[in-house]
Amino acid sequence: MHYLDHAATAPLRDSARAAWIDAAGRLGNPSSLHAPGRAARAIVEDARERIAAALGADPAEVVLTSGGTEADNLAVKGLHWGRSAADPAARRLIVSAVEHHAVLDAARWLASRGDAELIEIPVDAHGVIDLDALDTALDHESSAVSIMWANNEVGTVQPVRAAVELASAHGVPVHSDAVQAIAHLDVDFRDSGLAALSVSAHKLGGPVGVGALLARRGLPLVPTAHGGGQQRQVRSGTLDAAGAAAFAAALDDAVAERAAERDRLEGLRERLLDGLRAAVPGATVSGLDDAGRRLPGIVHAVIPGARAESVLFLLDAGGIAASSGSACTAGVVQASHVAEAMGWSAEDAACTLRLSMGRTTTADDVEAVLAALPGAVERARAATGA
């Protein structure tokens, strides 16, 4: 199998597997006061310190979660509720139109309940947010802003620092979903000026089911689930010592190799782009050309007339794993909300292909995709009469 879906989930690293097995073999609830409990707590706190160090945060700012989705929900709902409780006038919640559904659907849910006035900031044809529109939307009645660090479908890196500067002038905290960014970009929470940042382990070679919300101390977060109040009274639940240890191990490795991997992936991406443009007539590559403003491992294309589900099934039959980059619910591929926000029609937004590379991707994988893709697109277009 040629695996080109690293943006969905990355292969588990040996270091993460070893850390998980070692920690999982130990007994003790990290909240217990006896010796096994204290030993488990030590594993958690060591992992918390390592995660903080890798991401430019203080250990007390690291709230461990079950993954990026929980972290995003805690940030969006918890921050909005916390801010609006302190100031009932602060009802305006601002997000970009291309956020991951963990942010976008959480914000829309708040609006559907009447809890928030939602404003979705538009993007340009490359997926970059409109900073003028953000500036117009901001005022003292805004509760929070959520702008992703890098888009999970097209790879566009957002001007997060500029967004923070605009929001700070109005005293509005900013959250960023950095789930796709941390494996490839230099993410420094302290330097960013952000109030909160979501990350996940399985995008960089850690296990599925563990992530974190980095949240400034004193940030008014209302919990989205209630229980023992284990982490700052905002995230209850027994701490996953093995998951935290594996996350820290994977993150350590990802940060250590990040610069070299970025250069290597850029080379593979250029070969994939050249081949795609030559082999697939009518395909339009999405996102930015500037290497400093996009993720190095994502190639996203709109291929009119070739519906995503057909292309993906045909590639899969040829031993190639890829994705559409669009939302999948119960195995049903839907038109990409990101492509639509970038100006594509609903019909074309259902004809997207995302090829995402990572640390295990080789030149052979790229050549295999380029060999299989023209035939898959031709057959997909024939099925629709395009």
The answer, yes or no, to whether residue 329 has pLDDT greater than 50, is no
Structure-token pair, residue 182: 């941390």
Which band of pLDDT confidence, cut at 50, 70 and 90, is reported for residue 330?
very low
Report how far apart, in Å, the C-alpha atoms of 44 and of each of 12, 18, 87 are. 20, 16, 35
What is the rounded end-to-end Cα distance, in angstroms, of the chain? 29
Say what the pLDDT of residue 325 is.
Answer: 77
Distance (Å, rounded) from C-alpha 81 to C-alpha 94? Answer: 14
Q: Which of 203, 224, 252 is the last residue of a domain?
A: 252
Q: How many domains does the chain have?
A: 2
Query: What integer best gives the mean pLDDT of the chain?
Result: 95
* Pair 286, 227 in one domain: no
Helices (H), 1-100: 14-24, 35-55, 68-73, 79-86
Last residue of a domain, one of 205, 222, 252: 252
What is the model's pLDDT at position 352? 96
Q: Three-state DSSP class for 272?
A: helix
Pairing verdict, β 284-285 and 2-3: unpaired
Q: Range of 304's domain?
A: 2-8+258-384
The β-bridge partners of 321 are: 3
Integer CA distances (angstroms), 293 to 27, 150, 288, in order: 45, 9, 7
**Whether pLDDT at 1 is above 50:** yes
Q: What is the CATH number of the domain that holds 91?
A: 3.40.640.10
Are 239 and 292 in a shared domain? no
User: Which one of 252, 280, 304 terminates a domain?
Assistant: 252
Please state whether the predicted TM-score (pTM) of the whole model is above 0.85. Answer: yes
- The answer on 223 and 338 residing in a single domain is no
Instruction: Let me know if 328 is a catalytic residue.
Output: yes
Name the residue with higher pLDDT: 267 or 384. Answer: 267
Are 359 and 14 a contacting pair, CB within 8 Å? no
Same domain, 42 and 94: yes
Same domain? For 221 and 336 the reply is: no
Residue 155 DSSP code:
-
pLDDT digits (tens, 9 = 90+) for 106-132: 999 999 999 999 999 999 999 999 999
Residues 288 and 223 in one domain: no
Distance CA 95, CA 108 (A): 10
Do residue 357 and residue 271 come from a single domain? yes
Residues 248 and 262 in one domain: no
Q: Is pLDDT of 332 > 70? A: no
Q: Are residues 79 and 209 in the same domain?
A: yes
pLDDT over 90 (residue 93): yes
CATH number at residue 302: 3.90.1150.10
Same domain, 246 and 301: no
Q: Among 337, 295, 254, which Cα is nearest to 158's?
A: 295
Residues 167, 301 within the same domain? no
What pLDDT, in 10s, does the model give residues 13-43?
Answer: 999 999 999 999 999 999 999 999 999 999 9
pLDDT digits (tens, 9 = 90+) for 242-279: 999 999 999 999 999 999 999 999 999 999 999 999 99
d(CA 67, CA 46): 19
Least confident piece of the model among 5-19, 149-163, 283-297: 283-297
CA geometry: angle 136, 139, 145, nearest 5 deg: 80
Catalytic residue among 328, 367, 371, 386: 328
**Does residue 361 share a domain with residue 267?**
yes
